[in-house]
Homo-oligomer: A and B are copies of this chain.
Amino acid sequence: MQSLPFYPRGFRSCAKNVGIRDNTLDFTVIASDVPAAAAAMFTQSRFCGAAITVGRENVANGQLQAFVINSKNANVATGEEGLANIREVARLVAEELEIQPGDVLPSSTGVIGWQLPMDKLRNGIRGVRSELREGQLHVSAHAIMTTDTRPKMRASKIGDAVLVGMCKGVGMIEPDMATMLAYFVTDAAVPADQLKQCLHQAVNHSFNMVSVDTDTSTSDTVAIMANGMAGEVPLVDFQRALQEMAIELAQDIARDGEGATKLLEVTVEDAASFTQAKRVAKSIVNSPLLKAAIFGNDPNWGRVAMAIGKCYEYTDIQPEKVRIAFGDLVVYDGRALGQENLPQLQAYLKGSEVVIRVSLHTGSERATVWGCDLSYEYVRINGEYTT
């Protein structure tokens, strides 16, 4: 496991196996030495996990002191029993750390519809306080993984302060207002209301622009704690650092999408609105036909036209004004370009990143989204996930 070059002051963590399904890391606690300003965004799913309900309650006052996260079990569709279980987890962690129960944000990710193995969790929580260490956040990034093939973590400096972010999630990924699981901690001093604004803006241009498979998770959570131990920093610098890091982590999710062999970036520009640009870009990045073609290096660019065409609520989109390019290669500009360009397109598709750029000529707005190709491995992973 690769450690980070620097860590924010006053954050301690531990990550361990408590035996939820197997013997890999499945449980982590990340705690601030002092109460921290906090903000969070959650899935809008009607079948949201029990942890989401508790997290919403606890972050409402803009203050948190610890994240507690388990993988391997999502604690979703588990009714009153599931809700009581995750409340107990948060309470036990608070007692162990001698902090307020309302300052703990819990998260669960994994299989839907199974009750948490509470005896294992109770045993695991006991003694956590003595296991917390500084400089161990990178181990937490491992503990929150499910089908991820690698941890996703970033650190950056804003003056004296440090910002660290981590996330997981490579399937059931088309977040809307939040993503799978993403956590940020910083020792910068940022008031809770400004923290919330910064988080919303960063998420809307990063995690909300990613789709691996159009399936919105029941457990999406992105949360941040700012404990202030490094003092104030210019807000604009903080905002920029947070958004850049969120975009990098969002790209990491797409690049590590279940079964993915390529990162797919789609920019739609000259659009009538951001909403239109995003809708068309998502339609392209989510097309299973296009994703399979990109996996197979098949220069079937017509599927981009198909994906634009199915956004038929936008009657201002006129095929004769649309332009489609792969990298620098324009394949359609009001009409199909010659088939003699197909070998060049096929060669371009063999790279590990495919950039598609569409100009609608309906206005001047733009949006960029990220996704990945559709491979045999996606089918294999999801054909045998619980068995």
Interface of A toward B, CB cutoff 8 Å = 43-48, 74, 76-82, 111-115, 171-172, 176, 213-218, 286-289, 292-293, 295-303, 305-312, 314-315, 317-320, 322, 331-332, 334-336, 339, 342, 346, 374-376, 378-387
A358 to chain B, nearest CB (A): 12
Give the nearest-CB partner of A74 in chain B: B302
| A289 & B374 in contact (Cβ 8 Å cutoff) | no
Other A-B pairs beyond A171-B289, A218-B306, A296-B387, 14, CB < 8 Å: A45-B312, A46-B317, A76-B306, A112-B303, A113-B332, A113-B336, A115-B336, A214-B214, A214-B288, A296-B382, A296-B383, A298-B386, A375-B379, A376-B376
Give the nearest-CB partner of A322 in chain B: B47
| B218 & A305 in contact (Cβ 8 Å cutoff) | yes
Residues of B within 8 A of A332 (CB): 77, 113
Q: A77-B319, A113-B301, A115-B336 are in contact. Are A47 and B308 (CB under 8 A)?
A: yes
Interface majority SS (helix, strand, loop, mixed), chain A: loop
| Tally of this chain's copies | 2
A307 to chain B, nearest CB (A): 7
| B112 & A305 in contact (Cβ 8 Å cutoff) | yes
Residues of B within 8 A of A311 (CB): 46
A59 to B387, CA, bound (A): 53
| A385 & B293 in contact (Cβ 8 Å cutoff) | yes
A336 to B292, CA, bound (A): 35
Residues of B within 8 A of A303 (CB): 112, 215
A306 CB contact (under 8 Å) in B112, B297, B387? B112
A222 to B275, CA, bound (A): 32
Residues of B within 8 A of A293 (CB): 382-383, 385-386
Q: A292-B382, A293-B385 are in contact. Are A81 and B172 (CB under 8 A)?
A: no
A309 CB contact (under 8 Å) in B48, B113, B383? B48
Q: A46-B309, A215-B307 are in contact. Are A79 and B320 (CB under 8 A)?
A: yes
A301 to B112, CA, bound (A): 8
Residues of B within 8 A of A296 (CB): 379-380, 382-384, 387
Q: A46-B311, A76-B305, A218-B305 are in contact. Are A298 and B385 (CB under 8 A)?
A: yes
